[in-house]
Amino acid sequence: MKLDLLFELEVPKPWTNGQQKEEQRVYREAIEQIELADKLGFATVCMVEHHFRVERSHCSAPELFLAANRAANQEHPHGTRRGAAPQTVQSSGACGGTHRGAGYPVQRPRGIRHRPLNAVRTGRLRHQSQGSGGDVGRGGAHHPHKVEDFDAEDQILIGDPDQMIRQMERYEKAGVDQLICYQQFGGLPHDKILKSIELLGKYVIPHFAEREKQAKSRAAG
């Protein structure tokens, strides 16, 4: 099983230093998170494209973000909804291509209501939450459900590395071979995201890499 990272570049309020500076901070932090993930064996970075989704997603031109990230990391494959051709040229073929998400058919410029978290499997660790009983925030606004609610409904992956491995192995048995980890959301602080990426890269990714190695060895006879 391969682990990927998904970014929507959430910039929750309050914008203490103004919107522009807060957006710049989030972009710099995301690049740092990608650099760490690349060193630790994550397979792909996936970027969305959203417009007029204040706080929720400040990623209106993913190809420009990927171009900025390219200066720091020349080898990491990326996925983005559009703009793949320039990225493929810049990265000597490393861009993973484009895809279309199952989002809103029309995005209104203001007052967009967020749907519940029901489409993304989230690879993150418990220490990232606002407490085991805290609300899961999305874009600065708290979702009415608790972490335990999402966990009970099998909509997130959460826990220490051993717990994550056990949960992921269930998906592996069902045929899942690639898992997107949605880390930067809910106002989670940068240091917690880095720690989660580090734990996944140090313990979880090597576990599945070894399983893949053993499976190939058995298949080779």
pLDDT of residue 187: 84
What is the domain range of residue 124? 2-101+116-220
Average pLDDT of the residues of the chain: 75
- Residue 109 lies inside a defined structural domain of this protein: no
Res 168 pLDDT > 80: yes
Phi, psi of 163 (to 5 degrees): -65, -40
pLDDT digits 0-9 by tens, 4-33? 999 999 999 999 999 999 999 999 999 999
Dist. CA 155–CA 118, nearest whole Å: 6
216 falls within a domain: yes
Domain count along the chain: 1
pLDDT band at 90 (very low <50, low <70, confident <90, very high): very low
Q: Residue 50: give its domain's CATH number.
A: 3.20.20.30
Q: pLDDT tens for residues 115-153?
A: 333 333 334 443 333 333 333 333 333 445 677 888 888
Q: Which residues are bridge partners to 2 per DSSP? A: 178
pTM: 0.70
Residue 106: pLDDT above 70?
Answer: no
Is 26 part of any domain?
Answer: yes
User: Smallest Cα–Cα separation from 33: which of 21, 22, 42?
Assistant: 42
| Burial status of residue 85 (CB atoms within 10 A of its CB: 0-12, 13-18, 19 or more) | exposed
What letter represents residue 124's amino acid?
R
Question: Is 127 within a domain?
Answer: yes
Task: Summarize the confidence of residues 160-185 as an average pLDDT.
Answer: 92
> Which residues have CB under 8 Å from 12's CB, separation 6+?
55, 137, 139, 140, 187
Phi-psi region of 69 (alpha: psi -120 to 50; beta: other; left: phi over 0): alpha
